[in-house]
Each structure stands twice: as structure tokens, then as C-alpha cells.
Amino acid sequence: MRASPITPTVDFDAEGVQHGFLKLPYSRDDSAWGAIMIPLTVIGRGDGPTVLLTGGNHGDEYEGPIALAKLAASLDAAEVTGRVIIVPYMNYPAFRAGCRTSPIDAGNLNRSFPGRPDGTVTEKIADYFQRHLLERADYVLDIHAGGRTLDFVPFAAIHVLPDGEQQARCERAMRAFGAPYSMRMLELDSVGLFDSAVEEAGKVFVSTELGGGGSATAASVAIADRGLRGFLAHAGVIERTHAAHDPERRTTTLLDMPDGRCYTTSEHRGLLEMCRDLGERVEAGDVLARVHDIERTGTRPVEYVAQCGGLLAARHFPGLVQAGDTVAVVAQVVERNLPVPA
């Protein structure tokens, strides 16, 4: 296959801390021989596992970019055994625009894997991760949130995998991230996901959904900060003592999305009234949300009811919905208050 047009300005095998870029040539009106410069940090010391940490896969999700920018600026090579590759803003054009997808090619990076070296800008980014960064990594953590159109209870997530042993390794890493919730996630559309690319490469992979609404909170960033340290300690790249500087004993509640009944999709356009809030217990048949007609007054709203019982794990975020929007996700509670490894 053709070589990637992306060149790193760092040496992935060097010792110490390097702040640099993935340089992606992009000729355009305002820069004839220009490039997109995707920031990254590589921290290496001695022999050990390689951990790839990513945020900004979708450009309107902020816990990953904030926590990873802080980690890149603060993690000392002396703390590290092995290698940490930090890319806070994977789909950098989308991140710069504050949008889920790229303003250049409308590319959703998380639907673009394995990518193409001769494709669109977004496909070129996917291809570089697929063929160059994944190959180096033993552990991968990709930090997501709901973006502008969804909001979530904060969870780390894995998928049910054909290889039970690999799934168990992913589950242990998810527990080590230590979000308030830990989810076995069901994808409605898994084609082109970074997740699938990492899992098929046989790596330990954890994703997250840490909040949403197109911003981040102090609480959701703190979960990302602690989760990064916990994940790195679990991989054996930093000492556990660095992971355990929060004194309270943390626990996580294990959630599952067993089938498509978890998802409630709007079939109407209108004004959304959520009838339950995130984290609340719901029973099958409970009204989750109403959609009010915005064309006229005096009509009855459409009611959307839960197809299964559980905990409200996700909701549509802005006040208006259209047909096809995910209104709510109800997850089943598998086990409450599992201890997070210190």
C-alpha cells in the first residue's frame, strides 16, 4: 500500500519528553504548500509497554483534550517505564472548528477506519493511526464524551469481543480507569470505528463517555485526570503511588447494554421534554421523554417509553429533536459499587 503522507516531527523510539506534530500536507487557498500540524507528545524511558492516549476523535468533546493537554505538559520521563504517546486532538481540523466532524471533508474520524493514505484528510489521519500508531501500542485509551448533541453519565467502556481473554484484559483496564460507571457497550453502527481497529489489532482498548453537551465540567475533567493515571498505572507505565493520590475509596458501577431495546430513537421533530434525568432508575414502560409539536398549540405531545428497565445512561442534549435522533439510552445495572484498584 502507498506510504502515509503524514510525517511525525518526533522520534517515537527516543528517550525523554518530545513535544511535536504529525505533519499532514494540505494544499489550500490560504497555504499553497501548507500542512495540518496535529500536536502530539511522546514520553519514553527504558523498556516497557507503549500506551497510546487519544482525545478529540470527535472535535466537540472536551474532557480528553483538556486532561491530555495537562498530562502532556506535566508527565515527567523519570516517572515513565516504557512509552506514552499522547494525541489530545486526533481529528485536529474538527477540534479547531469545535465540531464533531471535519470542516474540510465532513469526515467523522470514528467512522473512517482503517482509512486511506490517498483519501480525504480525515481518511489520511485514520490510516496513520491504523498503520503507524496502533502497531506501536500495547494499550489504547480513547476519551470521548457526548459532544453537542448527547449527554452521558460518566463511564469507561469496552465491547463484548469474540476473544474472551482479550475482553477480560480490556475489562480490567476499564475498572482501573475508575469512572463512576463502567459499561459493556453495544454499538448500533460499528463499521469504521477506531475502537474496532484497535480491538481487531489485539490491543487492550478502553473508550469513555464522560459527559457531554459540547463542554466539560470540573467533575468530568477530574474523572478523566484520575482515569488517565489509573490506566497508565494499570499498564505498568507509571507507579501505582502516582495513581492513588485521591484519598477516598472509589467504586464503579458495572452497566450493560444487552440489545437494541436500550436505545430510544425519536420519530418526530419537536421540543424535547426529558421526564427522567441521567443516572435515574427507570422501569420498562416508564415515560422517558415527550416530544411537543412546535408547529401549533393544543396538541398532545408524543411520549417515548423505556423498552427495558435500568439506569438512564444517555440522553439527547439540546432542547429540540428531529426524527432519527437518539433520545435516550437505558443501561442495565450489572453490579453496583465495585472497588476501583488503588
Among residues 144 and 316, whose Cβ is nearest to Zn ion?
144
10 Å Cβ neighbour count for 183? 28
Alpha-carbon distance of 157 to 179, in angstroms, equals 9
What's the closest the beta carbon of residue 280 comes to Zn ion, in angstroms? 23
Measured from the CB atom, is 39 or 214 closer to Zn ion? 214
Could you tell me the three cell numbers for 139? 494499550
- Which residues sit at the interface with Zn ion, rule CB under 5 A? 58, 61, 144
Our CB check for Zn ion shows the closer of 144 and 234 to be: 144
Strand partners, 35: 25
Please state the closest distance from residue 64 (CB atom) to Zn ion, in A: 9
What Å distances lie between residue 162 and 60, 168, 188, CA to CA? 31, 11, 17
CB of 214 to Zn ion, least distance (A): 11
Taking the complex as a whole, how short is the minimal distance between the CB of residue 330 and Zn ion, in angstroms? 20
- 44 neighbors 16 (Cβ within 8 angstroms): yes
Compare residues 75 and 210 and give the one whose CB is closer to Zn ion. 210
In the complex, what is the shortest distance from the CB of residue 146 to Zn ion, in angstroms, rounded to a whole number?
8
Pick the closer one to Zn ion by CB: 50 or 91.
91
**Residue 149 CA, distance from chain mean position:** 15
Task: Say if residues 310 and 332 touch (Cβ distance below 8 Å).
Answer: yes
Give the torsion sign (CA, 96, 99, 100, 102): negative
